Amino acid sequence: MLKDFSRPDDGLNKDERKAAKKEYQKQLVSLLQPLKEAKIPVIILVEGWASSGKGSLINELISEIDPRFCSVFSLDKALYDCDRYPFIYPFFKAIPEAGKMLFMDSGWLMRAVNEDIAGKYDKKTRAARIQSIRLFERQLKNNGYLVIKFFVNCSRKTQLETQERLLADKNTEWRVTRADILQNDNYKNYQDAFDSWMESTKGTGWHILDGDNRGTVSYDAFKIIADTLSRAIADGKYDAPEYEESFSPSDPLPSLDKCDLSVCIDDTTYKKELKKLQKEISELHDIIYRKKIPVVICYEGWDAAGKGGNIRRLAKPLDPRGFDTYPIASPEPHEKARHHLWRFWTKIPRSGHVAIFDRTWYGRVMVERIEGFCSENEWRRCYNEINEFEKELSDWGAVIIKFWIHIDKDTQLARFNDRQNTPEKQWKITDEDWRNREKWPQYEQAVSDMLKKTSTEFAPWHIIESVDKKYARIKALRIVRDALKRASKDD
């Protein structure tokens, strides 16, 4: 791709190109407001050789854009605190809000190539990275993101000249890192790596800019951006296809029908077991922490099913330095304006830590589906997006445990009434709870779909019978104990 690249002559002379560039730049500025109105979030990924002028290009691209419409991402800055997170994490974390543009000074291509050349990837990891990048780009596209990918190409000679110039001045020498020099020393290897990674992550395609021909770089970039944005605004909302990847389902596949809610536990056994399990979990948490295994525990369930009490019993033996509990409510405006998984991606635990979610990303296929807070296409696509998300976490090494805290309708009624009639519990019950209750059959259908479509080998659902809350706690803690034990024995 890169070796054979040479920019076709467009027949413009220097002045003509300069004038045309001005026009494209003007056009870009005039598209900002329509873009905002169309609620299209845009990512402009600028990849390329070290010292090829990516930074200057971005500065020129944004030079007429009001900061309200754009922000700039820098790979170096973004990786600062990301060594204990999945590959995609720093990029997902940075995605812009609808109607805004993010300019990225290197991103997933450079990260992958650097890590690959540094010998960090075996064959399996390499395949997983390619898969991560593809899924990430597809999810972005399906969720309305416009991604424009550039690669600033330059010859070994041009790169060397630039680096020598920068190194000659003590104030600019920091711009040339060891890794940059390594690129020039091993230009051929890097070229092969860039080529192969670009080929594997073609997606919507790469635009190669000719860095040896400085005068054309920003002209070409402005033209491509202006053209692509105009087209996207004219096309309107991208109609994402429904698609289904095959993920191996968990065995057994949990089902509400097979569920016996009469199970219970006596008080003496409960107390003894609880103590024992909490001690075991506390010890396992130490191992998990030491071995840097990330753990994600999800709680979903009927209102008043006993999620809160269950979570508290689980959290008690955990060291506060190593876990966080996230209560999930409806999304705030800055969350709603992004990919629906963004607010969860930004909460995943650092490796070695535990994150407990009190309600989760499954809200989209439950309450949002039922209340019509998202389109049918959106929630239908979502099962797959969630599986991909959880697969990503699992491939990274995370233990994922998902609980559906289950009760029957009568039990819920009794607990609602109890809340209503007990002054200190009244805050726990709202009109919304009563309204949701009326939609029990729809929720039942949604739960059943969710269990069927998202109980995978790597992230199985567990139904926790919770008419007897004590039974439920013991069951959940046992599952956590077993999962942590398995994980801490691996490797």
Q: Which residues bind its own copies (CB under 8 A)?
A: 29-30, 33, 36, 55, 58-60, 62-68, 71-72, 74, 76-77, 80-81, 103, 105, 171-172, 174-175, 283, 286-287, 289-290, 308, 311-312, 315-321, 324-327, 329, 332-334, 356, 358, 424, 426-427
Phi, psi for 372 (deg, rounded to 5) = 70, 25
Tell me if 475 sits within 8 A of 260, measured CB to CB: no
CB 132 → its own copies: shortest distance, Å? 24
Question: Closest CB to its own copies among 102 and 113?
Answer: 102
CB 192 → its own copies: shortest distance, Å? 26
CB 324 → its own copies: shortest distance, Å? 7
Question: Closest CB to its own copies among 173 and 235?
Answer: 173
Strands 295-301, 354-358: pairing kind: parallel
CB 286 → its own copies: shortest distance, Å? 4
Per the DSSP assignment, residues forming a β-bridge with 323 are 354
Question: Closest CB to its own copies among 250 and 278?
Answer: 278
**CA-to-CA distance for 295 and 401, rounded, in angstroms?**
8
**CA-to-CA distance for 241 and 243, rounded, in angstroms?**
6
CB 191 → its own copies: shortest distance, Å? 24
Question: Closest CB to its own copies among 358 and 468?
Answer: 358
Q: Two tokens at 134?
A: 């593809």
Per the DSSP assignment, residues forming a β-bridge with 153 are 210
Question: Closest CB to its own copies among 113 and 356?
Answer: 356
Single-letter code of the amino acid located at 62? I
CB 173 → its own copies: shortest distance, Å? 9
Question: Closest CB to its own copies among 77 and 188?
Answer: 77
**CA-to-CA distance for 378 and 385, rounded, in angstroms?**
10
Tell me if 233 sits within 8 A of 38, measured CB to CB: yes
Task: Find the distance separating the first CA and the last CA of the chain, reported in whole Å.
Answer: 39
CB 453 → its own copies: shortest distance, Å? 27
Q: Is 77 helix (H, G, I), strand (E, B) or coil?
A: helix
**CA-to-CA distance for 90 and 73, rounded, in angstroms?**
10
Question: Closest CB to its own copies among 123 and 321?
Answer: 321
The sheet carrying 101-105 orders its strands as: 70-74, 101-105, 42-48, 146-153, 206-210
Tokens 């900061």, residue located: 67
CB 317 → its own copies: shortest distance, Å? 8
Question: Closest CB to its own copies among 66 and 245?
Answer: 66
